[in-house]
Every structure is written in structure tokens, then in C-alpha cells.
Structure 1
Amino acid sequence: MLTDAEKDAIRHHYQAIGKSLPGFRPRSAQRQMLACVAQAFARSKVREGDALPEREGESIVVVEGPTGVGKSLAYLLAGCVMAKSRGKKLVISSATIALQEQLVNRDLPFVLQHSELDASFALAKGRGRYLCPYRLYQHTAESAQAELLAPDPSMLLWNHKPEKRELEQLKRMADAFYYRRWDGDRDAFDESVEDRLWSRVTNDRHGCLKSACPNRSECPFYLARDQLDTVDIVVSNHDLLLADAAMGGGVILPPPIDTFYCIDEAHQLAKKAINQFAADHNVQQTLWWLDKLDATVGRCEGLIGRAELLVPQALDAATGCAQALGELAQILTPIERLLPSSQEAEPTWLLDNGELPEALAGVAANLNVSAATLLKQLNAVQDALTEARRDKSDQGALIDQLASELGFFIARAEPFAAVWALMCSVPPEGAPPIAKWITTRNNSNNRRDWQVSASPVSAAADLANSLWRQAAGALLTSATLRSLGSFDLLLAQTGLKWLGQTECVALESPFDFQRQGELYLPAMLASPKDAPAHTAEIAKLLPTLIDPQAPLGTLVLFTSRRQMQEVFDSLGEPLSACILVQGSLPKSVLLARHAERLAQQQASVIFGLDSFAEGLDLPGEACVQVILAKLPFAMPDDPVGLTLSQWIESRGGNPFIEITVPEASIKLIQAVGRLIRTESDYGRVTILDNRLLRQAYGKKLLAALPPFRRL
């Protein structure tokens, strides 16, 4: 239950913002969200002893907060007060690093400055965003320059002889870090660093020497992670949050049991979680590093204890993996659907319903056991090297090099083992299957190779077990969370449907849609299913919808690049001269050009695709008309989507009605949401798809849209 002290604190800090900012107007929806977050976190169960409390979603709230509500202020204020009061950390997760930086550089400083809240915060990033001083110094020491060309395993990351400019940039990075002009954060370096060069001076958890590293005290990653322990608020992103949860929680971010989560842009969480739990590997590439493994593991033999046991077991496991992969290649070579063809650049064999055919079952079982054994043995050798470094300081440099090389192999053995664990997994009865597929690829030597992939089709169970049942409390929020007016799709995809006490709240929009906007549905003759006719009709209609003489902004959204280009090519002057096509310029340049045209009292039209339908902010006359070429149906053509559709059909369901239409509803609302961004915006949404009026699902899609005036 929310205490009086907590209520008073939230009220005081909210009022302080009002007093500090002239013109600040409290919003009823914002106050409602403040209360929802605070009350949910107040229902968090306290751990008794070592056992986790049984959680049924009582401290989880899902809040759909339309644009203009002021969501970030609400969850930052309520979340911070409740976290400090209850002795928890507040972890805020956004969809991208860009949104992270917006929170850190703008939203959080604003709230703390004007609310009189006393709180500290830090930005959490993955290890790959930070410099590894040990690796950098190795590459820039005078005696180590030749090592840049050494035939070590990580040479796979360099497919060329290092150029002079790259060596010079490494030297500038080393000087800047050594003299403390740079903190080792890639995003803070004053030069752009190419990925292939950055890969030489960063590290992953497998190659990191951890406490044995001679540069541990100045390591940017560990300094940043140590800082997370001292602050009240940690700003993360979904990928980092999910990676931490997959490792058991508390590895990078604070432990879930001690954390209140505020997950912004929560509509992206489920798909990101599926990607997090997927795995793949290439057969020939795997055989390549298995062949190189012998030399590295063999060099460890004279340095580690129990070498007579660990080294032979690791090598035996590697041999077993190589033999099984050879058998796999023999099985895959004659399979007709995997043979290269002119129709399909990379032929793919999708295993029906995720079931292994008899031809694959035996070799898959062998690979599952041998890959898991190999990973276990390599980790044991790595641990033994760590122990050896404490006792053999005179050979520290050699041990460090071997540990780094071994980390390279462990980083590849991990997804290798994960693929075959998924390939051999059989979900419980009634649960969705695992998507399993094999794709023919040509490697760098133009030799035929195969990529073996596996992925859950739903992350619901993983999220429920690794996050929701572990966390002290959680808020999931976004401007669009409901599909067809219901939270059911989100709850199913995130696993919250199994936590029956989860609260769902849809806040009212602060905008007067009846006054500010209108929805126009022209009587289209051509169906979008007849692509040529539909494209021709759009090209004929656009000049009647857009005035090239009016200094106003228009956003035209397409679901396919081909149709977008064909429509543009069909338009004549003067309209075509007003159009900026996505992809013709970098996004930032295109938007700047759009603003310049409007400032010069010229018309400006943006042709965009799916990525411009979400997150694009064009307030005022920068966008007074949004035109949608057709409904944003995403028919499943990827292995994960196809496997899910097969499963739904096998249970007597209709994947189009159960998945495609609900997901299209969310995308449609997001696209329409580009029009009204402030209380003074106005304009029209035009949808050039007759299925809205002719198909039964069209009424449901229309009912979920904002209540514009209908034309």
C-alpha cells in the first residue's frame, strides 16, 4: 500500500515542477499515470529469507500513454520516489541508444532540476561500446606493432592488412585515453571509428581477463559498471536489459529482485526478446575455428593445473563436433531445396512445425551433446588459466594472450551450442514450437556453406520467468500498446497473460481529435492486391490531394520500397519537385531539407517507409497531411513468422486474424499518430486502401483509430 509519506513526496515534487516552470499545466492523464506507477510499485512483495516471493503481476502495470500525456515525467517522478522509499534501484529501459541518450541528456536533468528530487543516474551500455585498454596498449606498444599482422584467431576480424591511417588512429586513441582526454566510451570519442578497427580494441565477456587484467583499475567498462552500483537510476536499453535477464539478472544491471523497471517503447520488447533468445552458426566457419582450436588449447597444457584431464577432454569434444559437422554437411549437400538456384539467392529449408526429420535427428543429437561438452570444457580451461595467472606471474603475458585467444573460441562455441540445444528441444504440449531452418550461403572463398538457425517463435515464457517473476515491480508504457482496442496481444507476446494481477490502463489523449483532424477515405477502385493498378491509381490521385504551391508539409507512407519508387517515377512536375524520398539522403539531411523548404514558404513532401511511421516527430505545419498508401499488413515471410503461422493453423486458428490484423492495427495507429503531435496541430489523414470499407476487419481497424472527423 502507498504510504502517506510517499503520497506527500510525489505531490510535493510534482507541485515543485509547476512552481518552477511558468506556464506548466498539470494534466489529468499525467497525474493518473503517476498514481498508477506509484501504486503498482507499492504492491511489490518483500522477500522473506532467500526465496523469491510468488509474483502474480501485482506490482506490474501496463500504461498506454498517447503522445502529449508526458509519460517520461510521470514515470521518472513516481519511479524515483518509490525506488528511494522502498530501497530499490530504478532501471529505465528504452528501445534504442538514441532514446537512452535523450533520457540522460534531456529528460532526467529536466525532472531533477525542476522537481527538487535528489537522485543520481548513469547510462548503462554493453561491453562492446567501451575500449579495452589492455588490447589497445598491446596494439600500440612499439614492440607489439608487428602483432597486428600475427596469425592469431582474432585476425578473422581483419580481412586486410592494417592501413597506415588505422595505425595512426589507434595511436591517437591510446594517447587520448592515457592522458585522460577520453574516457574510453566509443560514443564519446571525437572521431568516427570503423567497426573493423573498433573490434580490435574492444572485448567481450569471453575474451576479458576480468580481475586478472593488469588494466582492470582503468577499464572503462568496469568503471562504468561499478558506477551503476552507486547511483539511484540506471538508464538502459531493451537489448541490454534482455541480455542481462538471459544471464540470470544482476550481471550487468542491478538484480531484478532489487529493481523497479520503467520500460518505455514497450511495444518493441517482445520482438527484441525473440531475437535475444535466437541463435545461429555457419557450418564451414565452425569447422574453420574448430581446426584452429587445437593449437590454442595445446599451448595451455603446460600452464594449467589438471591439464592432463582438461586439455584432452576439450580436444576430444572439438573432434566430436568436427566429425558430426562433417556428417551434417554430407546430409545437407544433396537436399534439393538447399541447392543454389537462380530464383532464390540463398535457398532456405524451413523445418515444418520445428520438427527434425529423421535424416537430421541423429546428427543433431550428437551435435547437441558434443557442442555442450566443448563449451563446458573450454570454460574449464579458461578458469584454469585464470588460476594459473595468480601463481605464474612471470608468464602473465603468455597466459593473458592465451586467455584472450580462448575467449575468441568460447564466444563462438556459445552460439554453436545454443543452436543445437534449440534444434533438439521439444516444447511442452500446447506450447509454441521452436523455429528451425537451414540456409545455403557462400562463404568468403565462394565455397558452399550452410547457416543453421533456431529461434523461439514467442518470448512469452522466457520473459515471464526471467523478468516478470523476478522483478520487484515494472511499468510497461508506450504511446501505442493496444491492438484493436485491447491489450490482449501485448499480454500474450510478453507473457504477462500468465500473471493475472497485472494492471492495464489506457490513458485519455490530451488532443481534441474531432477539432484538430479529419480522416479521409477516398473511393479507391483498385485493390492493393492488384499492385500495378493500385500503384497507378495512387499516382493519379496524389496530385489532387497535395497542393505543390501551398507551403505545408505532407508525409506519404508506403509499405514497399518498390511501390514508393514506382509512384514517384510516375509523378510529373510540379509535384515531383516537392518530394524527398527516404533513402535518397541520410535521414537527418532529409528532415533538415524538409524544414528548410517550409521555412522558405515552399511545399515539401516526404515519401517514407515503415521506419518513418514510428518515432518521426513533425509538429505544426511540418506535417498537415499523412497519406497511407495501404494498410501495413506484414505477411509472415520469415522463418519465425511462418513457423508461428503453421502452429496456429495446426490448432484450427487463423494467423491472419490472430496475428496479422492485430499487429497491423498497432502499426496503423502509429502511422496515423504522425499527424497530431501537439495541442495546436491540425490536418488530415488519408488512407488509400479500400479494404478498410470492404472487409470485415476494416471496421475494427477504423474503430481503433483516433476519433477524427470522417470524410
Structure 2
Amino acid sequence: MATRFVIIDLETTGNGPKKGDRIIQLGMAVVEDGLIVERFASFFNPEQPIPLFIQQLTNINEQMVEGAPLFADRAGEIAALMHGAYFVAHNVDFDLPFLQAELERAGWPPFAGPTIDTVELARIVLPTAESYKLGDLARQLGLHHDRPHQADSDAEVTAKLFIALLERLRRLPLMTLEQLRRLARHLKSDIYLLLDAVIAEKQDERPTDWAAAYRGIALKKPAPELEKKERRPALASFSAFYRQKQPLPLPGYKHRAQQWEMMQLVYEALSTSQHALIEAGTGLGKSLAYLIPAAFFAYERQERVVISTHTLQLQEQLIRRDWPVLRQIAPFPLRVAVLKGKQNYLSLDKFASFLSEPSDTYDAALLKCQVLVWLLETDSGDLDELNVSSGARLLLSALAIGEEEDGGRHHFFARAKERAEQADIVITNHALLLHDLTGPAPLLPPFRHLIIDEAHRLEDAAARCFGEQIGYVSFRLLTAKIAQTIAKWVEAEQDAPNGALVRCQQRLEELQFEGDELFRLLRRYALDKKPARAGRCRYRFSPTDEQSRAWQAAVELCWRLRDLAAALFAEAKPLLSADTSGDFPPSALLSADLAALNRQMAALVRLLTEKEPGVVRWIEADEKGAANAVRLYSQPVDLADFFADQLFMKKRSVVLTSATLTVRGRFTYMAARLGLEDFYPLCRSFPPPFRYEEQAALFVPADMPLVSAVPLEDYAEAVAASVLAIARRLGRRVLVLFPSYELLKLTVDALKTGEEGEPFVLIAQGVQSGSPAKLLRTFLQFEHAVLFGTSSFWEGVDLPGSALDVLVIARLPFAPPDDPVMEAKSERIRSGGGDPFSELALPEAVLRFKQGFGRLIRTEDDKGAVFVLDRRLMSSLYGADFLASLPPLSVHEGALSELLDKAETWLS
């Protein structure tokens, strides 16, 4: 491909050239024939101040640009380099407008050539990348990136990234390239020109590297079977392996006696058919501590072991990081499989139909490109592997196998199920495990031995699994999808449209209208019954207790909605057996969606009309949301009996493990919650292998107001002032954990008046858009940043080393007073003569506190300070329960100014 590409990166004083922001540094790399042949780099005087956060992000200060040329001084040289070339950048929409504005200001014509955005190209060529930030892609591809956010370094690494992406594009089969070319006209940059050139090079290619095409789509060859290994008798049993205690094949592996003790305990539980509760602290190596004995047990006893996790991250870790280690250790052949619910796998038929539809939106076209490339890489068809934009997320979910569909007829799910049936160890998730315990047709193969990691989340997962929820958004999306299917069907039969299709459209319009009315009425009813807190209302209800006219009107609308759905199904019934053209006809889509609608209507009727003992129901609405933006929920209150009868009675051995299972060093609370009390499980706690006395210190400001003595707004102002003082004085990355979004938002509002000129960047969950993972990546870009987080940030966040030096817990994490589930559980305890605070609220808060504390020290080399701004930790009787659940460490109480002196000394 004899073409000239100019890769450009620039640093600026801000985000808006139209607002007057200017370029402060420009880097260029010219690529020809896959090589960098020329470079350009220069600072520029922007003739305006550089904001502090830009200086921190780029390490470019005022002195570095003071004597630099103006852009106009070198505009001719820059324009000459770009002449006749492709403009390539990592986010063209940012770099090109700045460059055009500077060229225009200097009197030069704007760039008019083709553009390539390496973000867009990377999304297509690397559809499973965890992140499309330049630094993250460089690490993934092994590209050296020594000075991130400096234009010359960024341009150099972007050029190397572009060369690597182009090479990967060349390796795609012709069939896929031609499909990408048809879609490329809907992309933002001129990738179609690259595709034209690559297709021209590959016209004579034979499809030797691809197993087959399914409906014109190239797929990856099936993964080869696990190779057989010679059995080495000396280590063929766990006891022999344990006696030798050979070092594990891990980089930087350190022998930890507690890890080996946990291995022995897990093996003992499995081999003696006992249940076990094992608390394993951070850094112990918990995953291998249960995976290794599970593997030996499965091989020795010829018994399948199922491992269940709560998060996708841990499932991926077990396969990508721990399974290769296990294969090196195990002196015998072993099969491991991952199995998730059907809705996690791609339906090839749905994708083929989607691919043939006109791609009139950017999100749809980009998603099709990503899936086409991914199908050449994936063995599993697991949709979680893909990294798609938020706009494509809903489109992707529509390509999954439906819950009501027969998984056996779907390529990827059928293969996953077959692999699980042949496996010695099956890795699954809590949701599928719970579905299998109660579902009519189990998806998991038969098993008698189970290991549950992240066991502290099992009860929550079960509550969601056995509860129900329906909201306006899910109802509207589903009915819109049905309407779209019917409309396409009508369009396909323009000459003689089926009368039943037209009647279905009419019924659907009535259904949507009545649904809008019902959800609007429910939202108004909830907001009238209970004032919103932090913009959100949660009203707990019981169908038999609601007697008002408004409630009766809602119930009547509910029945009307159910009847309309039944009428729609009756009209559609003749269509569902119609012989329509195509490998995946519209009748199949319509049948699946109508089944889902029937489930929604049945759930709605149950939620609003039926009484269920032991179930809590509530309505949730956003005060400033749309008039019909409302959601209905139900959850069981107590699941102890379910776990006892359906899990622990039916399995020979269940090992439950997590980093947080004890309160005050005892398993009593968790055993009661999970129905384990009568089974006398093995119980053992393994503390983290860290030296907390040397690595962590706890600081409790005595000059904070007592949270129970002041309005929440006043407490939030005090939190804001304390966080400002901590961030200014310690000058490091600070993570601030809030037990509720309400307190987080009030604290952010209190900061708004003084944060403008601060030398740190403030990132707040729910205020800045993006997932927790995206917020974390932004946080890590800055050496001096404050991240406000709630919910998901209390656990599962790994910030080792210098990634986090200071943790602030804004308030002890008691559940908010309007939590409907906690209310119902408290009433249940009170009716039995118990104390809801000591039996429920306090243990829950202590476990959450331990999870939050665990964010700070992640490795043996970490060192950090924890500030708990809630004085109750020291002044209340129950504060001792929180302190007793922490490892031994130094605790300091006093005025914040004194504590900052101590913390600064401690950290240095």
C-alpha cells in the first residue's frame, strides 16, 4: 500500500477551539510502506495561560512554552508535511478541529484530505480490547509509550499503533473485508479507502485459514482439543503435591503458608463431603488456593467440580490468568469449561439477519464491523468479550439468544454446553447456578461439589434472581422492538399485506398508549406517597394495603394492559406458524418477543395485585425524570431456608469463600444469612499476608460534626471541607467512598464553589458520565486526583501501589433509611423479638466497611492512609465492632490539622 499517512497528536489549553483554546504542543509522524520515515515536534506559545489541570495531565508548564514559536511561525512546514497525505489521529474529532482553527488563524487553507481515526479503527480490528485509550492499547500491543500526554510521544506511539492495526486488517479474510467495505460508508473516518487497498491486495486469496462460513459469515476454526499429558505418578495426588510444596509458576511468586493451608482445607472439605466457610484476605492468592485442590479432587475422584463467581472480572481471571498456571501444575489432563446463561451468547441467526438490514446508524454499522472481526477470534461466542459503545449496547443485547429460545439449536451455546458436559471443572456465575437450582431444565451438567467465590454476594444474587422487576423503559423497548418487527414484515409484503399484521399494529398501539398511562400514574402515586431523597423516591407497598382511588385506577389499567397483550397474542398466533422466507424469519423474532411480553405482563399483574408472604415490593421513581419513568421491584426477604433446602441439603460439599465473611472474627452472621447454621460447616479465616502496622494507618478527625446531630446538608459541607484539606495537603490520588449517592451529590454541590482553582482533578460517580471502569481510568491519568464513588467502588476495585495512597470513608456504611429490603428484614427480625440494629444493620455495615478498607492495601509493597470522617467510629459503643473487623494497625484521633501532619509524615 504505497500511501502516505501523517499521524498527528497535539496538546491544548482546553477542549474547545471555538472557545479560544489553543495548541501548546504538536507531534507528527509520517508513515510510508509500514515505516515511520519522518518526524516533527514542537511546543507552541498559546498566548494564554495553561490551566493547572492541563499542566498536571501533560507535564507542560508555562516556562516550557514561554519562548516557543507561535503556531503561525511553523504553519507552512506543518501544511507541507500534510499535503497529499491521510490525516491520522487517535480521536480525529478532537485533533482536526484544533489544527484547522490554527491553520485558518495563520492564513493557510484547511486540510481537505481523507482522515483515519485510530480509535475507530481499533474498535473494529481489536473488538475485545479492554480500553481504546492510547496508553491502554499501547500496553496491549507491547508498544513502548514513555511520555503519555506529550504530543511527540503520543504521535510516535499512535503511528506504531496504526501500523499494527493496518497489519491486522491485512490478515482478515477476503469475505470479512468485503462485508466491512459495505459497512464502511457509515463510519466517521475514511476507513473504506484502506479497505479498498487491502481488498485489491487479496483478490486471489483462498479461505484456507477459516473453518467455514455460516450464512456468508467467516468463523474461527474450533479450538483444538486439550492435548493429553503424560501422567507423572510422583505428583498425581494432592497429598504428594502438598507435601512437596513446589513453587507455583507465577512471576514473582512468594511462598505463602496461608495459601497452602487454604488449599488443604478446600481439599479436606471436598474429599470429606463437608461444607465450608473460608474468609481469605486480599493478596493471599485465593483463586489458586481453591482451584488447585479442586483440580486434584476432580481428577482423583472422577467427580466434576463447579466453581461459581459473581463478577465477570473474576471469571475472566480464572480462565486467563489462573487456568494456564493450573495446567502447568497439574500432572494429568484436565478439562475446564465456562458456562453462562443463554442470554450471554450470540445468536448467529439473529446477527446474520441484523447484518443484512440497512445500516442507517453509526452505532449499528460499527457494531456489525466489530462482530464480524470478533467472529474470527472467539471460541465461545460470549458477548461479554466484546467492548462496544454505550449506543450499541442495546443493539448487542438484541443479538443474544433469548431466554425462552431452545439453546440447543444455537451454535455457540450448544458448544459451550457440550464443553461443560465433558469438563472436570465448570466455571459459571451465581445467576446461572441459582437458576439451575430451581429451574425445570438445568443447564449445568450434573455435579455434587461446588465452590462459591465472592460468596458474600450470593444472597444478593439470589434476591435478584428470585425477585422481579419491570419498568417503563423495559416495557417501551420491548413493545418498540415488536412494532419494528411487524413494520418490517408489513413492508416486505407491500403488495398484499396480511390483515393480521395490520390488526397486530393496532393492538400494539393501544398497548403502548395504555402502558404509558399506567407507568405515569404509578410514578405520580409513588411521589405523592413518599418525598424523594436526593432526587429519587422509593415507596414500599403491599397490594392489599393500598386502598386509594388512584391505586384502584392503576390496578384496572394493569388488567386492561394484560387483556390487550392477550388480544395481541391472539391476533399474532396465525402469523407465528407462517412459512416466511429467510433462515431466521420474522415469525421467529415475533414469537420470542411476544413470549417476553407475556412474561412482563404476568410479572406486572403479580406485582400490583397478588399477595406473597415473605416478599417485599417497592416503586422507584426519579423526581426529575420523565413523567412515566418508573420501575417496580420485588424481592424475597429471607433466603436462609431456600439455601438450606435447595443448596446445602442437595450438594455433598459446598465451599464458600470471600475476603469478607466475618464480623468481629466470627462467621455467625453469614452462616445465619445463608442457612448454614444446622450444617456445622468448617470455618476458617486467613488474614491478608500484609504488615498492616507498617503499611496502613487510620485517622479519625474529632472536629467533624456528629452525623446524627446535624442535617445531612451540613454534614456534606463538612465532608467537602475535609476532603479539600486532605487533597490539598497530601497531594496524592484520593478515593472517597460514600454509602449513598445522596451524600455524594450533596458533597459535590458543596465543593462546586471552591473547586475551580484547585490543583487536583475531581471525578465523581453519577456526576461525570461513564462506567466505574471508565472513571477509574480517568482517575489514574492524573497524579493528583480525587475520585468520589459509591456502590460498586466499595469492592472489586484494585488500585495497587502508587495508584492509591489515601482512602477516605465519608460515613460509616449503614444502609439508607429508605431501603425497602432492609426495612422489611428489620420488621421480620423485630416481629420475632430480635434487635434489627445488632442483628442486621450493624453486621451489614461492618462487612461493607471491611470491603471499603480493602481498597487501600493490595500488595506487600503498598502504603497508605485511611481517613474515616464519621466520629461514631470512636465515640459509639458499636464503633468497636468496626475496628475489631480490621487487621491490627495504628489508629489516630484528633483535629484534622493535627492528623494531616501525622499522615504527611507517615506517607513520606
TM-score tier, shorter chain, comes to 0.7 to 0.9
- Counterpart selection for 2:690 from 508, 511, 533: 511
- 1: CA distance between counterparts of 2:312 and 2:458? 14
Provide, for residues 472-530 of structure 1, a one-character-per-residue CA deviation record: whole Å limited to 9, x for no partner: 32211111111243323222322223x42222211233223233332222323511232
Match of 2:75 in 1: none
Given that 1:279 and 1:453 are in contact with CA atoms closer than 8 Å, whether structure 2 keeps it comes out as yes
Given that 1:423 and 1:454 are in contact with CA atoms closer than 8 Å, whether structure 2 keeps it comes out as no
- 1: CA distance between counterparts of 2:248 and 2:472? 64
- 2: CA distance between counterparts of 1:570 and 1:284? 36
Cα root mean square deviation, aligned: 4.9
**Structure 1 134/190 Cα, relative in aligned 2: closer, same or farther at 3 Å?**
same
Match of 1:121 in 2: 336
- Counterpart selection for 1:62 from 277, 291, 294: 277
Deviation at 1:109, TM superposition (A): 1.3
**Structure 1 627/338 Cα, relative in aligned 2: closer, same or farther at 3 Å?**
closer
- Counterpart selection for 2:617 from 425, 436, 439: 436
Matched, 1:645 2:826: yes
- Counterpart selection for 1:265 from 450, 454, 478: 454
Letter aligned with residue 78 of structure 1: P
- Counterpart selection for 1:74 from 289, 300, 307: 289
Given that 1:6 and 1:81 are in contact with CA atoms closer than 8 Å, whether structure 2 keeps it comes out as no
Unaligned stretches of 5+ residues in structure 1? 45-58, 149-161, 300-314
- Counterpart selection for 2:416 from 207, 221, 224: 224
- Counterpart selection for 1:33 from 244, 259, 262: 262
Matched, 1:278 2:459: no
Deviation at 1:275, TM superposition (A): 0.9
**Structure 1 362/190 Cα, relative in aligned 2: closer, same or farther at 3 Å?**
closer
Matched, 1:581 2:779: no
Given that 1:526 and 1:537 are in contact with CA atoms closer than 8 Å, whether structure 2 keeps it comes out as yes
Match of 1:302 in 2: none
Q: How does 1:3-18 map to 2 (within 5 A)?
A: 9-14=237-242, 15=244, 17-18=246-247
Letter aligned with residue 710 of structure 1: V
**Structure 1 607/567 Cα, relative in aligned 2: closer, same or farther at 3 Å?**
farther
Deviation at 1:130, TM superposition (A): 2.2
Given that 1:514 and 1:709 are in contact with CA atoms closer than 8 Å, whether structure 2 keeps it comes out as yes
Match of 1:254 in 2: 445
Deviates more, 1:607-616 or 1:21-30: 21-30
Given that 2:523 and 2:630 are in contact with CA atoms closer than 8 Å, whether structure 1 keeps it comes out as no
Provide, for residues 104-125 of structure 1, a one-character-per-residue CA deviation record: whole Å limited to 9, x for no partner: 1112212322454532222223
- 1: CA distance between counterparts of 2:235 and 2:374? 46
Identical amino acids, percent of aligned pairs: 28
**Structure 1 411/259 Cα, relative in aligned 2: closer, same or farther at 3 Å?**
farther
Deviation at 1:688, TM superposition (A): 1.7
Match of 1:304 in 2: none
Letter aligned with residue 202 of structure 1: A
Q: Secondary structure at the match of 1:197?
A: helix
Provide, for residues 400-446 of structure 1, a one-character-per-residue CA deviation record: whole Å limited to 9, x for no partner: 64344222222232354356557777667xxxx2113456899x9x8
Match of 2:383 in 1: 186
Match of 1:708 in 2: 889
Between Structure 1 and Structure 2, how many residues are aligned?
Answer: 622
Matched, 1:663 2:855: no
Q: Secondary structure at the match of 1:350?
A: strand
Q: Secondary structure at the match of 1:194?
A: helix
Deviates more, 1:73-82 or 1:21-30: 21-30
Deviation at 1:709, TM superposition (A): 1.8
Letter aligned with residue 581 of structure 1: I
Deviates more, 1:468-477 or 1:269-278: 468-477
**Structure 1 86/268 Cα, relative in aligned 2: closer, same or farther at 3 Å?**
same
- 2: CA distance between counterparts of 1:127 and 1:115? 31
- Counterpart selection for 2:602 from 394, 417, 423: 417
- Counterpart selection for 1:478 from 655, 658, 661: 658
Deviates more, 1:651-660 or 1:260-269: 651-660
Match of 1:49 in 2: none
- Counterpart selection for 2:318 from 63, 78, 103: 103
- 1: CA distance between counterparts of 2:297 and 2:365? 50
Deviation at 1:356, TM superposition (A): 5.0
Matched, 1:201 2:391: no
Given that 1:261 and 1:475 are in contact with CA atoms closer than 8 Å, whether structure 2 keeps it comes out as yes
Deviation at 1:634, TM superposition (A): 1.5
Given that 2:693 and 2:890 are in contact with CA atoms closer than 8 Å, whether structure 1 keeps it comes out as yes
**Structure 1 546/245 Cα, relative in aligned 2: closer, same or farther at 3 Å?**
same
- 2: CA distance between counterparts of 1:438 and 1:567? 30
- 1: CA distance between counterparts of 2:659 and 2:890? 21
- Counterpart selection for 1:466 from 635, 642, 646: 646
Provide, for residues 253-272 of structure 1, a one-character-per-residue CA deviation record: whole Å limited to 9, x for no partner: 223xx242221111111112
Q: How does 1:66-465 map to 2 (within 5 A)?
A: 66-116=281-331, 118-141=333-356, 145=357, 163-165=360-362, 168=365, 172=369, 184-188=381-385, 192=389, 194-206=392-404, 208=405, 216=410, 219-248=411-440, 250-251=442-443, 253-255=444-446, 258-281=447-470, 350-351=540-541, 401-418=586-603, 420=605, 433-438=614-619, 453-465=633-645
Q: Secondary structure at the match of 1:491?
A: helix
- 1: CA distance between counterparts of 2:401 and 2:558? 28
TM-score, with length taken from structure 2: 0.58
Given that 1:539 and 1:571 are in contact with CA atoms closer than 8 Å, whether structure 2 keeps it comes out as no
Deviation at 1:676, TM superposition (A): 2.3
Match of 2:99 in 1: none
Given that 1:137 and 1:174 are in contact with CA atoms closer than 8 Å, whether structure 2 keeps it comes out as no
Given that 1:16 and 1:115 are in contact with CA atoms closer than 8 Å, whether structure 2 keeps it comes out as no
Given that 2:375 and 2:381 are in contact with CA atoms closer than 8 Å, whether structure 1 keeps it comes out as no
Match of 1:521 in 2: 700
Matched, 1:673 2:859: no
Deviation at 1:395, TM superposition (A): 7.5
- 1: CA distance between counterparts of 2:284 and 2:621? 49
**Structure 1 487/367 Cα, relative in aligned 2: closer, same or farther at 3 Å?**
farther
Deviation at 1:75, TM superposition (A): 0.1
Given that 2:717 and 2:747 are in contact with CA atoms closer than 8 Å, whether structure 1 keeps it comes out as no
Q: Secondary structure at the match of 1:577?
A: coil
Q: Secondary structure at the match of 1:632?
A: coil
Deviation at 1:346, TM superposition (A): 8.0
Given that 1:558 and 1:564 are in contact with CA atoms closer than 8 Å, whether structure 2 keeps it comes out as no
Q: Secondary structure at the match of 1:236?
A: strand
Q: Secondary structure at the match of 2:852?
A: helix
- 2: CA distance between counterparts of 1:195 and 1:647? 40
Deviation at 1:607, TM superposition (A): 3.9
Deviates more, 1:266-275 or 1:652-661: 652-661
- 1: CA distance between counterparts of 2:371 and 2:523? 52
Asked which structure has the greater CA Rg, the reply is: 2
Given that 1:464 and 1:496 are in contact with CA atoms closer than 8 Å, whether structure 2 keeps it comes out as yes
**Structure 1 31/120 Cα, relative in aligned 2: closer, same or farther at 3 Å?**
same
Given that 1:136 and 1:170 are in contact with CA atoms closer than 8 Å, whether structure 2 keeps it comes out as no
Deviation at 1:549, TM superposition (A): 6.7
**Structure 1 30/434 Cα, relative in aligned 2: closer, same or farther at 3 Å?**
same
Higher relative contact order (CA 8 A, sep 6+): 1
- 2: CA distance between counterparts of 1:565 and 1:468? 46
Match of 2:138 in 1: none
Deviation at 1:228, TM superposition (A): 1.5
Deviation at 1:127, TM superposition (A): 2.2
- 2: CA distance between counterparts of 1:366 and 1:580? 46
- Counterpart selection for 1:565 from 731, 740, 748: 748
Q: Secondary structure at the match of 1:135?
A: helix
Match of 2:794 in 1: 613
Letter aligned with residue 10 of structure 1: F
